Amino acid sequence: MTDADLIKYYGGPTKLARRLGFPEKGGVQRVQNWLGRGIPPKIKIQYPNLFLKPPRPQKTAQSGN
pLDDT at 13 > cutoff 70: yes
Which residue from 25, 40, 23 is spatially nearest to 7, judged by alpha carbons?
40
Residue ranges of the domains in the chain? Answer: 3-51
Average pLDDT over residues 26-30: 96
CA dihedral (59, 1, 42, 11) in degrees, to 10, reads -50
Question: Does residue 63 have a pLDDT over 70?
Answer: no
Residue type, 16: L
pTM of the model: 0.79
- pLDDT tier for residue 62 given thresholds of 50, 70 and 90: low
